[in-house]
Structure 1
Amino acid sequence: MVHFLKDTVKTTNTFLLLFNGQQDRIDKSLQQMLRELQALFGETIWLNIILCFTFWPYDKTSIARRNSTGKTETWKINDFNLALQDKYGIKKNLSAVFIDSYARKDFSLGDKTQQLYFETEMEKLWNLTNNFQSFPLRTIQDVLEEVYDLRGENGQLKLDIQQLESDLKEKERKIQSQQDSISKLNSELKEKEWKIQSQQDSISKLNSDLREKERTVESYKSNVCQSNSFNYDMGTGICYKIIKEPLSWDDARERCRGWNADLISIHSQQENNLVFSIAKRLGRQTWIGLNDQAQEGSFVWADKSSVEYKNWHYQIPNGGRSKCVCVWYTDGIWDGHGCNYKKPSVCKL
């Protein structure tokens, strides 16, 4: 068997030990085979062994019987692992699968429970073997012969080591010279680090001052918004007011301009999310400041800001009469409608 494994199989990644699931102990013939494998291939063979219990039916009657006696799959695995650890000094618990030898027979194919467990255990076996690394089948004697050959090379290695030691001393001398240079550079580096730290302290102070000023600006913006009866959104820094009354686009803009504001322009996803949240609460499409009233197909913001961010439904509307843009309350997408339609709107201060 050993010559067959070494000369024909040569490499493997898994040894599958088959046990009769109806037996509670390891028989003597299997014990002898395991001792031979361990003696020939060493302790590492246990790293690539999987236990496979056959004659393990999964019909409902068998499952109920095992559950009532306590002799379940978990019990079986633990019992056999304890036996193997006691007899062979194994340091790990071996993985196991349970495969009913009759599962693929004609009289079992109609049993869905039986087939489900069979497929599950086969998939488990496949996954376990894929996690093992392949290794050459070498006996302990093979390893000893390799060691003997290595000893023959030892004399030449000693000579090589002596030459390496001589070369090492020369390199150590050069390294010492380089270390002296490095020490000088380290001293200069520490001086520069001190200067950098001083600059970083100054930058930290400036950043602290900047954050304080930003908080002051945010507070000022919020106060300005409130003084004009507008809402303030901290995430976008926008002062806005909602016109719930449905108006045409032009009437909505005129209402905004009466508050020294204009229909809202949107320049980022975050700003679009703000308008979307408003439209969603209102449950209506909501006017924004984008329109092509001046030139059909050329959309501009009412407040004259640049058009950079876009969130059209499919593509920019074209053809037909002039269009004004609204935000859908279902998904925040833009769409062009006739400007005379009446909708809620959002003003931006």
Structure 2
Amino acid sequence: MMLATPWLLAVFLAVVALASPSPAINEIRQPSNKPGRFLSLPVPNKCAQRPKEFNYRGRNYFFSGNLPQYRNAKLDWLDARNACREYCMDLVTIETQEENNLVFTLIQKGDVPYIWTSGRLCDFKGCENRRDLEPKNVFGWFWSATRQKMAPTNQVPASFNFNPWSQTGHKKVRQPDNAEFDINGTNESCLAVLNNVYSDGISWHDVACYHEKPFICEDSDELLNYVAATNRGIRL
């Protein structure tokens, strides 16, 4: 099921300009009061020259830590999305166990502590009074890159043979646990993959969006099609 959000309005979805979390709770700080921000539009020249580090089912990906311009950079969730979008990409959407394994392998081989995904909690304007999203911690998660709802967090997703959400975290309960809300009132509304931060292996965690992390970008068919349609003859 798709969340009802027309593509052009997606540019304004970042009214959600949240802050992003780093994984460990001891990295928590007070979120900054950044003004509302928007999603970036693709940059045709950058799309044509986008990094193509590895490929899965015809889609290109890159890890920010392997690019000179982002090697030492960590970005909050929205800034990470925008970095990807300028290349006609978006934060990675993990829809199959095979794709999940690719992400896990990259994290493990590179000894990466955590990465952002496009996973997002529908807890902003437009998500109110939606019975199908309640309770939010179970039914309210979606992939922002495709606006597809995720499987309920307490169930094994289709094409998986296990639940990728961690069984523990700061509160020592199954994820998502919205742990930071109890500390400073900030919702953990973005999905990161953490590398054994809670002695739980590589697994999914909800994190406040203001934290800063490296990220994986994945081709966005929507943005690539848009740039192809508006830039005759461009080679993507």
TM-score, structure 1 normalization: 0.32
Larger radius of gyration: 1
User: Normalized per residue, which structure has more helix?
Assistant: 1
